[in-house]
Amino acid sequence: MATLGDIGVAAGFNLLAAFIFLLAFAILRLQPFNDRVYFPKWYLKGLRSSPSRSGTLVGRVVNLDFRSYLRFLNWMPDALRMPEPELIDHAGLDSAVYLRIYLIGLKIFVPIAFLAWTILVPVNWTNDALQILDLTKNATSSDIDKLSISNIETGSKRLWTHIVMAYVFTFWTCYVLLREYEVVASMRLQFLATEKRRPDQFTVLVRNIPPDVDESVSENVEHFFLVNHPDTYLTHQVVYDANKLAKMVKKKKKMQNWLVYYTNKFSRNESLKPTTKTGFLGLWGKKVDAIEFYTSEIDKLTKEMAEERERMAADPKSIMPAAFVSFKSRWGAAVCAQTQQTRNPTVWLTDWAPEPRDVYWQNMAIPYVSLKIRRLIVGVAFFFLTFFFMIPISAVQAFASIEGIEKRAPFLKPIVEMPFIKSVIQGLLPGLALKLFLIFLPTILMIMAKFEGFVSLSSLERTAASKYYLFNFVNVFLGSILTGLAFDQLNTFLNESPSKIPEIVGVAIPLKATFFITYIMVDGWAGIAGEILMLKPLIMYHLKNFFLVKTEKDREEAMDPGSLGFNTGEPRIQLYFILGLVYATVTPILLPFIIVFFGFAYLVFRHQIINVYNQEYESGAAFWPDVHSRIIIALIISQLSLMGLLATKGSAEATPVIIVLPILTIWFHRFCKGRYESAFVKYPLQEAMMKDTLERAREPHLNLKGYLQTAYVHPVFKASEEDEEEDDLVSEKWETESTLVPTKRQSRRNTPLPSKISSNSSPTLPGGFEDQP
């Protein structure tokens, strides 16, 4: 069992690692050739120029101003200097509200830690239950255990102190959550009211369009919305299954990069023509002239892309039963998105369209009827992933301990029993082993989310975040409590009969405090410091810049910093909320470590959001109800765990008092859900009308149709900037608006508006295609 000395050694190692990462970052960010890596957001906004373009040759690579090295910590106050309104304008509401999650952690745990250390720690420390247990049961305990509720004897009146503090902690947490929900809801409504015009404000995604033997999908959409939304309907864009064409475009882009690489190589030494092999990655196969090979392959692929376009033109199955429908006003879009369209609630399903950059086009081609089956498959797969993952995690944690190493490698016993080595193993190795074991999990969960068929990047990240949160709770929290050293320690002084399972769980929670302390330091201290160093993006940028960069656009793609990563960051934060709230009344020594994490992470991610991350989408903080719900769940878990722990302490009379807490917490959650959640799932018609009225007054001659008609055309149908010869042809074909046509059914006699083209024409699709009935 880890002692305070072991924790001190682990803290020293992690603080040293964090210091090295921060020092390396402070030096690397000052070098001119790294400027695009550590400040890419300002380059993408056009507000920063490369310092390597001027000065001496050496000065373009290395910063020779030694005075700047004396101010290497200036990034910290700079990260805090930008006010929140300016931060929202600069990075978006999603990023600003994401940072508020860290602030909530500080607001909740700083007062809780103060009360816990001034009230609970003295109450725990001045008892001697563990000392008596060590003498009578031949068990072992550490100084950390003496600071916890484990040091309170069974039936002691001191346990009422913990019950009272549980009420105080619950009320304080709920108060902070209530205030934050109110503030974030207000920020969202204000953001939507002041936001610039965007296509998704006027557009609805319609799915599960019923088939019609007389009309094509495009004609069916036109007919339905002219009849049911005659005053507000404007235009629409049907959805194509363009995944095959998208793969071709991606492959062509990759070949063009290789062509650029070999062309640059040849221009540097024209006496030696570059060659490559025709096999996989150029590793085997026939050796050929690289420039000629990639030129011919690009020409061949260009012809295949043209043939694929022609195939889509002739195949009505390439059109999916879905469409982006745009309206003349935000009010019209809000009415359509938030109402049921027909008596049958399974067809003509409408929802707000994601903004164009948020659309995940690969999933748009998935038939709606298959989504339920896909999600069932993913649900079963996630179940097995979660529960079977516990086996290797338990094995790794069991091995990453003194007992585990001595059992499996007895010849190492003299080494691991050395005081310093023992401290390193017990204070550092378990948390590091778990961190490394989970490194590929986010990628697996994102693949699952994509398979489920969600059509926006934001929904993909939110779904993956939900799975990651559940996985952390089952495997990292519960799995770590119920496996490894906890059982080894419990078997010393507890019977293992089934009737004592609640006792095992209750006592195991404080016994696992040292493991979670080591995990917090590895993941929340050194891990966050490693985040700001950005070692992988740094290496990848210089490799791409050396081999592939030809134009300024290539350089922008090479320095692409990526987005915030809500699917990995938010679940990690929620694990700390669970640990903090569960251990606040049980083992308060965890709280300072958690506070350091929230404070340090807030500083680091604020810097990254200001200077690095380029958010792929803007959801207007739509994820906030999920954040609120997970903190509520953490609060309920803490209350139930305390209830189980008190049951092992012979305080059955306290159960009715504790059971009130989860009931009050659930009522509080339902109140917040009813009061504020609608701001995140609905758009008030009053707000929509106000914004429409103001826009009409300010821009009376706005061509809204021209603004919307190509907003949701699949990106592969738009002309690429590289293919200048095809630009006019492709843009003319694939960005033509979806014009309206007369229906072929007699029911069209009831349509209140005439067709906008003659009766003998058919709907124009992207590429000039004629839809096949």
Indicate whether 467 and 553 sit together in one domain.
yes
Provide the pLDDT for residue 74.
Answer: 86
C-alpha 29/C-alpha 407 separation (Å) is 47
Residue 262: pLDDT above 50?
Answer: yes
Looking up tokens 């990453």 gives: 400
Contact 460, 446 (CB under 8 A): yes
DSSP state of 477: I
CB atoms within 10 A of CB 399: 17
Indicate whether 349 and 483 sit together in one domain.
no
The total number of structural domains that make up the chain? 2
Tell me which of 618, 649, 683 is where a domain ends.
Answer: 683
* Interval 27-46: pLDDT, tens: 898 888 888 889 988 888 88
C-alpha 101/C-alpha 573 separation (Å) is 8
Q: Which domain holds residue 181?
A: 4-196+369-683
Model's pTM, two decimal places?
0.84
DSSP class per residue in 45-111? TT----GGGSS-TTTTTS---HHHHHTTTTHHHHHHHS-HHHHHHHH-HHHHHHHHHHHHHHHHHHH
Classify residue 754: in a domain, yes or no: no
Nearest residue to 331 via CA among 612, 90, 687: 687
Provide the pLDDT for residue 720.
Answer: 40
Lowest mean pLDDT among 107-116, 272-281, 375-384, 749-758: 749-758
Indicate whether 74 and 147 sit together in one domain.
yes
Residue 697 corresponds to which tokens in the numbers above? Answer: 């007054």
Indicate whether 172 and 243 sit together in one domain.
no
Query: What are the b/e assignments for 188-213, b being 16+ CB within 10 Å?
Result: bbebbeeeeeebbbbbbbbbbbeebe
C-alpha 600/C-alpha 577 separation (Å) is 15
φ and ψ of 375, to 5 deg: -70, -30
Strand partners, 326: 203, 235
Classify residue 753: in a domain, yes or no: no
Residue 107 corresponds to which tokens in the numbers above? Answer: 């607001």
Provide the pLDDT for residue 749.
Answer: 39
Indicate whether 478 and 411 sit together in one domain.
yes
DSSP state of 614: -
Classify residue 8: in a domain, yes or no: yes
Indicate whether 435 and 311 sit together in one domain.
no
Residue type, 18: A
Classify residue 737: in a domain, yes or no: no
- Mean pLDDT (the chain, rounded): 81
Helix (H) or strand (E) holding 217: helix 217-228
How far the first Cα of the chain sits from its last, in Å, is 73
Percent of the chain with pLDDT over 70: 79
Classify residue 748: in a domain, yes or no: no
Classify residue 573: in a domain, yes or no: yes
Residue 135: pLDDT above 80?
Answer: no
Provide the pLDDT for residue 755.
Answer: 45
DSSP class per residue in 731-773? HHHHT--B-----SSGGGGG-SS--SS-TT---B-TTSPBPP-
Tell me which of 310, 325, 354 is where a domain ends.
Answer: 354
Residue 469 corresponds to which tokens in the numbers above? Answer: 């949160």
Indicate whether 120 and 214 sit together in one domain.
no
Burial of 408 (0-12, 13-18, 19+ CB in 10 A): exposed
For residue 68, name the pLDDT band (cuts at 50, 70, 90): confident
For residue 154, name the pLDDT band (cuts at 50, 70, 90): confident
Stronger pLDDT, 488 or 613, i.e. the higher one: 613
Indicate whether 178 and 205 sit together in one domain.
no
Classify residue 709: in a domain, yes or no: no
C-alpha 709/C-alpha 234 separation (Å) is 9
Indicate whether 224 and 297 sit together in one domain.
yes
φ and ψ of 675, to 5 deg: -85, -40
Contact 130, 150 (CB under 8 A): yes
For residue 736, name the pLDDT band (cuts at 50, 70, 90): very low
CB atoms within 10 A of CB 279: 10
C-alpha 462/C-alpha 468 separation (Å) is 10
φ and ψ of 237, to 5 deg: -135, 115
For residue 133, name the pLDDT band (cuts at 50, 70, 90): low
* Interval 500-535: pLDDT, tens: 554 555 566 777 788 888 889 888 888 899 889 888
Contact 295, 183 (CB under 8 A): no
Classify residue 736: in a domain, yes or no: no
Residue 152 CA, chain-centre distance (Å), reads 41
C-alpha 196/C-alpha 204 separation (Å) is 18
Indicate whether 64 and 120 sit together in one domain.
yes
C-alpha 668/C-alpha 631 separation (Å) is 12
Residue 384 corresponds to which tokens in the numbers above? Answer: 């097995």
For residue 142, name the pLDDT band (cuts at 50, 70, 90): low
CB atoms within 10 A of CB 492: 12
* Interval 301-350: pLDDT, tens: 999 988 888 888 778 888 899 999 999 999 999 999 999 999 999 899 99
Indicate whether 346 and 229 sit together in one domain.
yes
Q: Within a 13 Å sphere around the CA of 135, how many CA atoms are in the beta-carbon half? A: 4
Provide the pLDDT for residue 768.
Answer: 39
Tell me which of 683, 700, 723 is where a domain ends.
Answer: 683
Indicate whether 440 and 488 sit together in one domain.
yes
Nearest residue to 426 via CA among 148, 142, 147: 142
